[in-house]
Structure 1
């Protein structure tokens, strides 16, 4: 029975490691019930003396009954007995739970399905632990299934497992080992230590005593090993470099409007966009600076699905491998290594007034982001999001590697689009044929994919006579058809969505992006406000990847800060005396004013060319890696010098005590003077002998010790005399009724120590200073006393007080 209870307790203590994966405690009580069901089955199997192979099926049946009663009782017979309906209900809950853990990032909501999945998993672990520890009597192997419980949070969570939870789990496993040892010793053990125990007198034992087996030493040794292992496991990792978790499990985030657990609640990006554009006054959303002082579009959402009414977003997924603090982000889709890139570092400051923004506004394509918090990148779109943090008030840096796209380069690209996901070409079946005919007519004369994309953009900005208006309403095929064929008036979302649809008809992968335009330069920073909210299409070109296009009319009649990309405009003849070249991927200054080259230099970006050349962020200025290593080495050195410091403090205290003994005399009982501190000299001599490996024999008197040391190590006359004086003073102080006058011993002690040090090797002397054996012995004795105290607590017994006579 004891071993079954210990196995159940060990399983539940290991299950505590899962607490960080959930945002509520319902999983814990469900798991505790599953473990108790397995424990009841184990006790029943033991009571019936079932063979080892029969116990696990009994435990599985008990677990099944418990899960049925807890999660599918309405479908069960008598609320307990499983039926076909209850099995179907349990399967439905498990399927829903599996879907939820793929959608949510930890901590996940502990809903009914996830609680069922967790309770069932912990119950199966309990069955395995009971099999190994109780049935097969292999308690050490029971640690393997318990280790599986620790593996799940260690591989999913970026944060390390908390040390209190680890200690609880380790103590549970240690308790299982101790229980197993006591079971074995009780049945098959032999006496290791024998003592006499007092018992009630009987005719055959007149004295009331008998030999009894004392297993305290054996149990205490096991506890010492267990406590030492736990202490090393907790303390040793603190001195080692941090390691990133290995992702065996990947978790995504919830999609639009999920609003539960730790998922992202994404408002309708299109409705939010128009709401910002219609605000009566401009409000600052963010400010930024960058290494080339050029304005850039900052994207937030990438909408990739079109259902015939509007564009939507596939739920982003971010595994722990794609956390921003793990280094560079995933490679931009479609960008080849032969294309030149321009490396830029941008510093962005989000306004404190932004609410519920879980995506970072970033220029595209980001290669590395330095930001506080748990932020992750979606591999397909490179959107950076968080399930725990919000962007309000954040300041972060992003390094981008923008392809140096030109018209000539895009003309020469292969017409293949194999690198793009087919969903970027998907269109509804009921798309009006008039829209398909319009796309064919616009791109009829295009020789390449790039020519078709430019003609589509010019259709909206030049040849199609479109106008910008926020008064248009509606979505769907009819609204799209009316916008393209009749009204030709709308705002940026309709321009972006319409061009993306026409591009897909023309065979060009496309998506719609929502974010902000480059804003306006004020002082040394670019200011982006609510009126800069914008939507634009991105088109895919094999070898270059995703490139932004701008179909929304700019200027006084349109989006004021929108600009067409330079690679879509025919090159102009260079102006005489002007040698400047626009940066690929950057938009022009909205003020169209020359910028002083000296004023364009951001002081934070000086001397960063080496980092920019690789497309990464400059190293963090907070503390270099060498400094961190140096601090760690210093702390480790201080820890190693603790025994030496304790030894010096002890020696100093004793030497000061010896300095006060000059002129002191002995005193009989009732005398007025104190006994001289001879014990300090003797204790220091004893520690010196231990440090130099010359420990005295237990049976040696002080005089015999002095004689042996003088002969064995051939001490000189002065050292031998000093050693004899110390030994004589100690004997008189300990045994004589009147020790007489005892002179100062500081000089004698120093003489003896120097003479003994001369007889040992240099390595022994260095070790005696840095790692004194006498101090290490004291530290070990303190630890043993602490463990002895734990053992005494276990043996406490309440004593019953005898009733007074006559009561």
Structure 2
């Protein structure tokens, strides 16, 4: 009966990792009920030895009855037996669950539809685990459905899976493997547990106890390494499942990884929430709304737009001054800057700051760092929840003439932001070329693409459409359905711009929101948005807006003036990257808006924006060297402990032996030197001598007395008279301490120990001597003993039995 119970417990252990997806703990009790029912049916099936297929059917029937009683009891007969009405009720809840999963972002509410969906999914996994591990006796394969369950929170939630949850899940699967192994060995006969005796040199077992102990040691060691090694080694490359490495820590041993969510996953969920919950408020110099960018997605891999891992060195902390220079921006006297004060609510808990682009300087509490290429500002330790900060952003004068004269992008930008997947349908390029025919410059092509999406392309806005921007979804959106929301519009324009030779990426963040009055603006969950950013050499990255706005689209989306088609009459269309306001041709300032003050620290003598000087980033070689240094320090831990123990013993040995009270005569010789107090000079000298023997590969018989040992060593290795005499004195002092009433007057043995150690080292090879210093076997032995005693505790817990007392 052990194996079906362990299978149920393993499923429950892995299911605990889902707690980050839910609000409250109701889901846990509902899921626990489903697993208990399946486990109970499995125990009964094992007891009756029914076939595997019949056991699985019985478990599915038990799960059905449980879900009926829990979620459709009013429609069932006697609140338990399923009926046609209860089946219809469950089907409706399942359908609502599908819709709610697409509607809500984690943590989801504990409504009946989501609870049913969760209990049903985990229940099916529990049936699969029981079928593989118990019925088909393939416990290792049972890890596949458990892994599928474990991957769900790892792929959805923005935070990393906490290490206690990982340990619980790993221990559950390890327990399942051990239970399966014990059952297999148990078929050969009844296992007889033999108590392990401390101090016994040899112990032989013919039962499953030793194998079970080895399995526990391997499992616990593997779990410990899986938790500790990633925490100790600096992250050099992104982890595709959990987190992205930022590339460098600050040398204080603190975390150096950051959790990056899939920005597209929660976009539709935010837009379809029933209430527009405020996420932040802000105020700026000119009371003009501006887009606040969180993420910059630079890679399209035929299935999804993704983001390269950001790199933030300690030198790029915002507290150190101006941020890195905006890529591609050549300062101009007409460029401006705006100061914005932002207050984040407690509902927005991310590790990236919403900022207008391009940010030049950020003032915020915490360890916030800027990515050099995208100017995203992120933190490895702090969160935006309740944060208040200030940002000074630049606004290049983006006139039509300036953008038309934009040169070819530099090779680094072209290689990264013009890349397209090999499987991109050729119809996408053909459609982009057809739409932008008769347009010569990249700027004119970009303006025409935006006009096509928002005006004459017959596109319509709707969030009730299938999410996605893979190759097939992109082609269907451009040529067939032409219905979507900001995700499809931004992704499609970015891909089409790349086919035309215009560097592009997708930005995800928030629109400017709605005015609150008093110069402040409020941004809510419905203002979450995606838009394309296009690159023009000399101006840098500029936002475009292909998503329809107003009543037919996203209400707070605004197209910047420079992206609008030029009027028929002559005259350049000029604007800042802001979504509103035109410029006065004489003064160059926004109409109705006074000239904004500038930060002197960011201006040169002519008053133009002076980007911060480039800062050196940590090279890959430097990060590899840091990781190698940390690993080397870990490897040298036993050597450091050996030096510490030897020095402590030498201090004790330096005391006169006559001052040390012996234990009294009559100690039993078979017990050995362990009966002497560890703080005594003689015991410390003998312990150091014994460790030196072990380090240099010299044996000591279990029944060999100290004096016999000293004589054998002197005879076998030909020690010089001084070394032989030193060993003899240590052995004699040890025997007197063990057997005599008084230790007698002996001189300190520190010099004897040093002489003996040199003599023992002379008997070993060079490799053995190096190992004795760098990886001392005596210290490794002690570390193994400590680990063995910890595992002994698990053995004793398993051996606990409830004993019935007579009467």
Q: What's the TM-score bracket when you normalise by the shorter of the two chains?
A: 0.5 to 0.7
Deviation at 1:195, TM superposition (A): 8.9
User: Structure 1's 702 and 149: CA in aligned 2 closer, same or farther, altered over 3 A?
Assistant: same
Q: Aligned pair 1:659/2:651, yes or no?
A: no
Q: Which moved more, 1:775-784 or 1:738-747?
A: 738-747
User: Structure 1's 109 and 373: CA in aligned 2 closer, same or farther, altered over 3 A?
Assistant: farther
> Map of 1:207-606 to 2, 5 A cutoff?
215-242=208-235, 243-246=238-241, 250-255=265-270, 258-259=273-274, 265=277, 285-287=282-284, 298-299=290-291, 326=310, 349-352=340-343, 363=356, 393-395=388-390, 405-406=400-401, 409=404, 413=444, 515=512, 529-530=519-520, 585=577, 588-589=588-589, 601=603
Q: Aligned pair 1:686/2:690, yes or no?
A: yes
The answer to whether the 8 A contact 1:133-1:142 is kept is yes
Deviation at 1:44, TM superposition (A): 3.3
The answer to whether the 8 A contact 1:681-1:749 is kept is yes
SS in 1 for 2:787: helix
Deviation at 1:150, TM superposition (A): 1.0
The corresponding residue for 1:788 is 792
Q: Which moved more, 1:695-704 or 1:564-573?
A: 564-573
- For 2:664 and 2:28, how far apart are their aligned partners in 1? 68
SS in 1 for 2:512: strand
Deviation at 1:566, TM superposition (A): 11
Deviation at 1:722, TM superposition (A): 1.8
Unaligned runs of 5+ in 1: 197-210, 270-283, 289-293, 302-318, 329-338, 376-381, 430-512, 519-526, 550-561, 574-580, 612-617
The corresponding residue for 1:65 is 65
Query: 1:758 aligned to 752, 759, 762, which one?
Result: 762
Deviation at 1:21, TM superposition (A): 0.9
Deviation at 1:406, TM superposition (A): 2.5
User: Structure 1's 38 and 403: CA in aligned 2 closer, same or farther, altered over 3 A?
Assistant: farther
The answer to whether the 8 A contact 2:278-2:345 is kept is no
- For 1:219 and 1:408, how far apart are their aligned partners in 2? 72
Deviation at 1:715, TM superposition (A): 2.4
Deviation at 1:127, TM superposition (A): 0.5
The corresponding residue for 2:411 is none
Query: 2:640 aligned to 639, 645, 659, which one?
Result: 645
The answer to whether the 8 A contact 1:143-1:173 is kept is yes
The corresponding residue for 1:39 is 39
Unaligned runs of 5+ in 2: 197-203, 242-260, 294-302, 313-326, 370-375, 405-438, 461-509, 537-541, 547-558, 667-676
Deviation at 1:782, TM superposition (A): 1.6
- TM (norm. structure 2) is 0.61
Please identify the structure whose Cα radius of gyration is greater. Answer: 1
Deviation at 1:26, TM superposition (A): 2.0
SS in 2 for 1:792: helix
The answer to whether the 8 A contact 1:193-1:214 is kept is yes
Q: Aligned pair 1:710/2:687, yes or no?
A: no
The answer to whether the 8 A contact 2:362-2:390 is kept is no
User: Structure 1's 168 and 564: CA in aligned 2 closer, same or farther, altered over 3 A?
Assistant: closer
User: Structure 1's 190 and 347: CA in aligned 2 closer, same or farther, altered over 3 A?
Assistant: farther
Q: Aligned pair 1:769/2:787, yes or no?
A: no
Query: 1:724 aligned to 722, 728, 743, which one?
Result: 728
The answer to whether the 8 A contact 2:9-2:172 is kept is yes
Deviation at 1:222, TM superposition (A): 2.8
Q: Aligned pair 1:137/2:137, yes or no?
A: yes
The corresponding residue for 2:5 is 5
User: Structure 1's 655 and 596: CA in aligned 2 closer, same or farther, altered over 3 A?
Assistant: closer
Which deviations, in whole Å up to 9, do the C-alpha atoms of 1:489-526 show, x marking residues without a partner? xxxxxxxxxxxxxxxxxxxxxxxx963999xxxxxxxx
Deviation at 1:714, TM superposition (A): 3.2
Which deviations, in whole Å up to 9, do the C-alpha atoms of 1:324-347 show, x marking residues without a partner? 97579xxxxxxxxxx986689978
Deviation at 1:750, TM superposition (A): 0.8
Which deviations, in whole Å up to 9, do the C-alpha atoms of 1:382-433 show, x marking residues without a partner? 9x9xxx966862446879899663389388635995677857658899xxxx
> Map of 1:659-678 to 2, 5 A cutoff?
659-661=654-656, 677-678=681-682
> Map of 1:152-171 to 2, 5 A cutoff?
152-171=152-171
SS in 2 for 1:298: coil
The answer to whether the 8 A contact 2:534-2:544 is kept is no
- For 1:515 and 1:425, how far apart are their aligned partners in 2? 26
- For 1:665 and 1:754, how far apart are their aligned partners in 2? 27
Aligned length: 605
The corresponding residue for 2:434 is none
- For 1:759 and 1:692, how far apart are their aligned partners in 2? 8
Q: Which moved more, 1:64-73 or 1:54-63?
A: 64-73
The answer to whether the 8 A contact 2:450-2:545 is kept is no
The answer to whether the 8 A contact 1:418-1:542 is kept is no
Deviation at 1:121, TM superposition (A): 0.9
SS in 2 for 1:140: coil
Deviation at 1:8, TM superposition (A): 0.9
- For 1:565 and 1:423, how far apart are their aligned partners in 2? 15
- For 2:688 and 2:664, how far apart are their aligned partners in 1? 27
The alignment yields a C-alpha RMSD, in angstroms, of 5.6
Deviation at 1:166, TM superposition (A): 1.6
- TM (norm. structure 1) is 0.61
The corresponding residue for 1:470 is none
The answer to whether the 8 A contact 2:234-2:623 is kept is no
SS in 1 for 2:718: coil
Deviation at 1:349, TM superposition (A): 4.4
Q: Which moved more, 1:581-590 or 1:74-83?
A: 581-590
User: Structure 1's 606 and 702: CA in aligned 2 closer, same or farther, altered over 3 A?
Assistant: farther
- For 1:180 and 1:121, how far apart are their aligned partners in 2? 25
Deviation at 1:791, TM superposition (A): 1.6
- For 1:665 and 1:228, how far apart are their aligned partners in 2? 42
Which deviations, in whole Å up to 9, do the C-alpha atoms of 1:727-764 show, x marking residues without a partner? 23333433456665433322111111112223334443
SS in 1 for 2:46: helix
The answer to whether the 8 A contact 2:560-2:576 is kept is no
The answer to whether the 8 A contact 1:357-1:392 is kept is no
SS in 1 for 2:388: coil
Deviation at 1:16, TM superposition (A): 0.4
The corresponding residue for 1:463 is none
User: Structure 1's 794 and 421: CA in aligned 2 closer, same or farther, altered over 3 A?
Assistant: farther
